[in-house]
Amino acid sequence: MKDYVIMAGTASFELGNAIARKHDKELIVVDKKQFSDGEIFVKIEESIRGKDVYYIQSTSSPANDNLMELLLTLDAIKRSSPGSITLVMPYFGYARQDRKTESRVPISAKLVADLIERVGINRLVTLDIHADQIQGFFDSPVDNLYGVNIFIDSCVLNTENTIIASPDAGGVGRARYFAKKLNINDLAIIDKRREKANESEVMNVIGSVEGKHVVIIDDMVDTGGTLIKAAKAFKEHGAVSVKACITHGVLSGNAFKNFEEGKNYLDKLYITNSIEQGLLPDNIEVIDSSDLFAEVIRRLVHNESISSLWR
């Protein structure tokens, strides 16, 4: 077994520290400076020659600064003659732009993948990437971890009289996987549609939620507006309570205002620390993901199966 080291960028420093502690290691120090014109400078403060490097960095807000820091640090690692480079991206930014939805727009997820590949990595580990096809943008192996396993182990959910829900048709697979893990047979789906131009979306509920505890499963929550509307629709259809387990808490724009105004509809939101948070409202709880990432790194170090984690 080769010697290995763990490093973390600015966006994932706390998570990286927690992962390193679970491996009885100290994070390799990366000195980061930002010049007055905004340019970023990084320097690795000790030798990593011949060592397998696990570098942890999300590209959350400020997305462009964190992405540039990621690329520069990967370049510094590559030029330090490591044994291998494994990039651990708990949150993969720009993943929502994974295809052309109209003329003359970029496929940003593909561009980010190309930049990372061009710098040079041996493997990517990420958590609930927004679109599965992004894995095909990489030539290197990609391990896309399932966030629902973090919630199954950590959230206190009453499985009696509970129904698992997806906020859209695209998330049904994720919701079905979560339901199967909890031995829950019932599923509900929100069908969003806009009846006329310039009118707000209509939330139709597919499945019976009357008298049940609804748990919404999704990969990402941003401003929270759609999530609150979905929770309201479930309550209006007779749900006793509505909780949500959502992997990435982007929480931008009017998110906190929306959650405050919608607290009568959404009883609790669980998110992971894939994106580091500041002070949060009482109805939002952060679930630690460091155990999962630490175990994945341990398995990679020992050449053990990753997929067996989900069996």
Annotated catalytic residues are: 192
Both tokens of 75, joined, read 């370049």
Q: Is the dihedral of CA 142, 146, 149, 151 positive or negative?
A: positive
At 231, the amino acid letter reads A
Which neighbouring-strand residues pair with 165?
188, 216
The answer to whether the CB of 165 falls within 8 A of the CB of 215 is yes
CA 15, CA 251: separation in Å to the nearest integer? Answer: 18
Tell me phi and psi for residue 77, to 5 degrees. Answer: -65, -50
SS (H, E, C) 281-295: CCCEEEECCHHHHHH
Tell me phi and psi for residue 190, to 5 degrees. Answer: -90, 125
CA 171, CA 183: separation in Å to the nearest integer? Answer: 18
At 87, the amino acid letter reads L
Burial-class residue 188 by CB neighbours within 10 Å (0-12, 13-18, 19+). buried
CA 123, CA 303: separation in Å to the nearest integer? Answer: 13
